[in-house]
Chain A
Amino acid sequence: MRARQPDTVGFTERDGLRIGYEVYGDGEHTVLLMPPWAIGHSESWKAQVPYLARHFRVVTYDPVGNGKSDRSQDPNDYTDWKRVDDAIAVLDATATGRAVIAGICTEAWTATLLANKHPERCAGLIFFSPVTPYGESMPEREVTSFDDVLQQHEGWQKENRHYWVTNYRDFLEFFFAQGLCEPYSSKQREDCVAWGLETDPATLIATVDAHEYLATLKPGDLELEALYRNIKCPVLIFHGDQDKLVSPTRGAAVAARTGAEHVVVQGGSHIVWARQPVKINLLIRDFVERTHAMQTPSRWQVARSRKRRALYISSPIGLGHAQRDIAIARELRRLRPDLDIDWLAQDPVTRVLEAEGESIHPASRFLASESAHIESESGEHDLHAFQAMRRMDEILVNNFMVFHDIVRDEPYDLWIGDEAWELDYFLHENPEEKRASYVWMTDFVGWIPMPDGGAHEASITSDYNAEMIEQIARYPRLRDRSIFVGNPDDIVPDTFGADLPNIADWTKAHFEFSGYITGFDPAAFADRAALRAELGYKPDEAVCIVTVGGSGVGGHLMRRVIDSFPAAKRLVPNLRMIAVAGPRIDPASLPAAEGLEVRAYVHHLYRHLAACDIAVVQGGLSTTMELTANRRPFLYFPLRHHFEQNFHVRRRLERYGAGRCMDYETATPEVIAEAIATELKRPVTSRPVETDGAARAAARIAELL
């Protein structure tokens, strides 16, 4: 799912070719993000658009030849001067007088021409790895020509018109492996290849065959010199020093001729804006603000008069962590009564926080929805949790930028991230951004491939694990506390991947263990009879609660269980089934059944789970562990392809000897009915769940305050 939708979409035309554009935000100043070469399109900017659109008006468009713009196979449609016309057509169509204009690679050249022909449209220029006649070429790219008929196509020989026709995808994979040569770039490479596949070799060949004004110029030409000297607006240039597509000497040459600010990203490759989005976003914003002399009054509070403050970032996927985080916050305030806690959170977590009277930071409204993304990734009782997380990359960077703006402007003493992946990942990518004590909490460690993902999935999960291990080893100072919500025996027996450590050994060495945190004290429900009476459950009825947690992924399971109700009722005549739809499933969308009760969101659902006789749930950790802590029988159905539910949670439940794992594939309504009847009769023998987890976690966190 995209992190932000455009406010306006439209088409304009140049020479009869349609050009698709998008406009985001309504800031006073506009940033025009020109598309890359037609091998890609405007989505290349996906890590920039949501952030910049919170501060400026952002206009993007697709190049002729890709995205939503028309394809042409006439080289005359692709010259550099025609691309200038494209940009002007979009500026006109969006009623944009002036803009800060950003161009990548060849489009930095286009922007240079634009700034000469239409200087009044340029408030500033931002170049990434600019193509220019100045500087050095990449010799390896010029060993063979684009037109030669070759016997073999190794390396840069793939950049060849004949090879493109037959092996386009292989060329793309090679090209973007060069463009993103840093380790741990698999997602960015996949994106680029996918965008490249949205056009075709014949179109892309036409772009190469275009007669470019650029090709008529060479260093030393006064005409060329003038093109750069004429630029009067501020210029910012980014260039990765490991760029394998455009020599960093080119960026340096343009900087020298324009007086530009020249940011050399050390260790950066060609596509730095995708691989290092946080740093690039911050520098773009800073540049645009300075270009327009934007002045926001700023405040800096002297240190000793600041209140003690913590920012709690609670993972928003479902409701799983809300109760435990509130329990920890409560314990923290008990230990540090002067502590103010603000929450950076989103729906549905915010519903729980609001109900508990917690303070939600107003910037939370800028967060892109992780729950909606997860739902968009799910199928019938199916969620590939790892890939869903990977494909959440633009939402994660958007949400990190929201976090960043908050902590830049407001002094917090402590950040607590409960599976706040965006915070942990981008903090390790941008370690200089740490400005408070930081606590990382999680209830699982390690991405585990699903067996049917084969070697490819195993290679990617292990790549992600390797990156995390490397981050922690390189920057041990970032996490001031790493708390595993559980016990050492809960950890899966797997390794992080080929040639990587055993997960349990590594986790024991890098985490401390709080024990499980339910967020409530089961002792409060010791008098079950009273609780049942309070909740309206009669002593002689067998109450079965069906719940699929806080996300909207569980609709299919819920319907399947509802379908089992008549058969179950035959086996257990006093059965009373209550289906709790949760905050993100519309109760009206569920089937009606004789005697079945359907409820929407139920606050303090755990009290009902404590009072019930049996529950049927998904394989999420929080709900199953609430049932375990209350020593209730339950059936749980791990989502297909959900590695956490299938491996991590299951391992933990088996250790506690709690619940009965069910397979959605084979669980017909009759099977479910039979299992309900059986489990109702079977005595619960699971191990008790510790009750001091929140206090233990809070005690360790409080030491940082």
Chain B
Amino acid sequence: MRALEPDVSGYVRSTGAQIYYEAFGSGPATVLLMPPWQVVYARTWKMQIPYLARHYRVIVYDPRGNGKSSRPAEADAYTYRAHADDALAVLNACGEGHATIVGYSRGGIVLAMLATQHPERVDGAIFLAPVAPLGPPRHTQNLWDKPLESDDGWAKHNKHYWLRAYDDWLDFFAHKLFTESHSTMGIENVNEWGRQTSAEVLIATYEAPRSNGEPPADHAAALAYYARIRCPVLVIHGSDDAVIAHSTGAGVAEATGGALVTIEGGGHSPHARHPVKVNLLIRRFVDGVIAGHPADAHLG
């Protein structure tokens, strides 16, 4: 059973997709929890919603390609621009002009685009284990669509393996999201949610063309891009993140002048594995945004 049912739910049309959203609670601020990559959907926020909804209005939505949202087939439908439009469409559908927005993992790219190109919609930005062109190369960069001889470890993170053994990759990836021991429930959840989309959808997300306004790949240009973010910023990143290196989040904090909270011993799903800490961090940050204090210190 869900801990809290939404007060409002519905669909909104956004550049070639139907996006399913839910809104919970009310309060002096609105928090938009964006979905990360399509391997999961809004349920990833199940540990945050009931708490935050007691203090704020909370909006979540399923990404195009998973959950109750539609699953366009073509790669063109999965640009970051389309993802950013989905977030804006959901805010509009809920009648919200602006919100504190949480971007998790690949949602970090979407959040950076919203904060730079639609600053009036973003009161505060929380980057949770964010993807950003500010860290070391990813495990699979440039290899994910090449046929590989091995199926071991990160070699599973490959287009051909996805098509061949999606469920096995999914379980591998779920384990990488949780480097902490005793994480069976979180791993099961990702397996369950990941099976609701397909290798084809995930391949489309990776084959989507670059769109205008994305953070540039070049490091110096990326630093300048993130430095344009003017709203208060909080970055939360696990020291043992096996998917996106901790230095990536640290780079976002440095480039934006935001606060960095390191979850020492934490993996790529701090909100699922350490929900109390992450909930308290979000609450404190949002309260600071409401109070008009540009940022918050000593979040630990």
Contact = CB atoms under 8 A, between A and B. Distances in A.
B264 A290 contact: no
B137 interface: no
B112 interface: no
B298 A289 contact: yes
Given A299-B300, A302-B180, A302-B274, A293 B294 contact: yes
Interface in B248-273: 250, 253, 257-266, 273
A286 B297 CA distance: 8
Contacts of B257: 293, 295
A152 interface: no
Given A234-B292, A234-B293, A261-B291, A299 B261 contact: yes
B19 to A, nearest CB: 34
Contacts of B232: 293
B119 interface: no
Contacts of A527: none
Contact of B298 (A234, A286, A302): A286
B212 interface: no
Contacts of A259: 292
Given A302-B264, A302-B274, A305-B265, A297 B295 contact: no
A302 B180 CA distance: 9
Contacts of A166: none
Interface string A303-327: 0110000000000000000000000
B228 interface: no
B293 A305 contact: no
Contacts of B294: 290, 293
Interface size bucket, B side?
20 to 34
A297 B260 contact: yes
A257 to B, nearest CB: 16
Contacts of B216: none
B293 A298 contact: no
Nearest to B236: A300
A299 B295 contact: no
Given A296-B298, A297-B253, A298-B299, A290 B293 contact: yes
Interface size bucket, A side?
20 to 34
Contact of B259 (A291, A295, A304): A295
B297 A289 contact: yes
Nearest to A410: B300
B288 interface: yes
For the residues of B in contact with A, the DSSP-based class is loop
B22 interface: no
A298 B263 contact: no
Contacts of B295: 290, 293, 295
Contacts of B210: none
A295 B293 CA distance: 12
Contacts of B265: 301-302, 304-305
Given A234-B293, A293-B295, A409-B300, A299 B262 contact: yes
Contacts of B262: 297-300
A604 B150 CA distance: 66
B118 interface: no
B285 to A, nearest CB: 11
A290 B299 CA distance: 11
A635 B118 CA distance: 83
B181 interface: yes
A571 interface: no
Contacts of B293: 234, 290-291, 293
B296 interface: yes
A500 interface: no
A300 B263 contact: yes
B258 A290 contact: no
A299 B265 CA distance: 10
Contacts of B263: 299-302
A602 interface: no
A300 B259 contact: no
A300 B297 contact: no
A294 interface: yes
Nearest to A289: B297
A293 B232 CA distance: 9
A301 B239 CA distance: 9
Nearest to B239: A299
B292 A298 contact: no
Contacts of A298: 259-262, 298-300
Interface in A19-59: none
Nearest to B288: A290
B277 interface: yes
Nearest to A295: B259
B236 to A, nearest CB: 9
Interface string B72-94: 00000000000000000000000
A304 B291 CA distance: 35
Nearest to A261: B291
A125 to B, nearest CB: 14
B264 A300 contact: yes
A293 B266 CA distance: 26
A299 B232 CA distance: 19
Contacts of B266: 302
A489 to B, nearest CB: 48
Contacts of A261: 291
Contacts of B292: 234, 259
Contacts of B261: 297-300
A259 B290 CA distance: 12
B261 to A, nearest CB: 5
B255 to A, nearest CB: 13
B85 to A, nearest CB: 31
A630 B294 CA distance: 65
B251 to A, nearest CB: 12
B259 A297 contact: yes
B180 A290 contact: no
A295 B258 contact: yes
Nearest to A409: B300
A532 to B, nearest CB: 54
B264 A301 contact: yes
A290 B291 CA distance: 10
Contacts of A299: 239, 261-264, 300
A300 B274 CA distance: 10
Nearest to B277: A300
Contacts of A234: 291-293
B125 to A, nearest CB: 14
Contacts of A408: 298, 300
A106 B291 CA distance: 26
A296 B296 CA distance: 9
Contacts of B180: 302, 304
Point out which of B258, B261, B297 has the most chain A C-beta atoms below 10 A from its C-beta. Answer: B297
A304 B181 CA distance: 9
A293 B274 CA distance: 26
A184 B20 CA distance: 61
Contacts of B274: 300, 302
B91 to A, nearest CB: 26
Nearest to A124: B293
B297 A296 contact: yes
Contacts of A289: 297-298
Nearest to B267: A302
Given A298-B262, A299-B300, 17 more contacts: A289-B298, A290-B291, A290-B295, A295-B296, A297-B250, A297-B253, A297-B260, A297-B261, A298-B259, A298-B260, A298-B298, A298-B300, A300-B264, A301-B263, A302-B273, A304-B180, A408-B300
23 contacts: A261-B291, A289-B298, A290-B295, A290-B297, A291-B293, A295-B259, A295-B297, A296-B259, A296-B297, A297-B261, A297-B262, A298-B261, A299-B239, A299-B263, A299-B300, A300-B263, A301-B263, A301-B265, A302-B266, A302-B274, A305-B264, A305-B265, A409-B300
5 A-B pairs with the lowest CB-CB distances in the bound complex, closest first: A298-B300, A301-B264, A305-B265, A290-B293, A302-B265
Interface of B: 180-182, 232, 239, 250, 253, 257-266, 273-274, 277, 288, 291-300
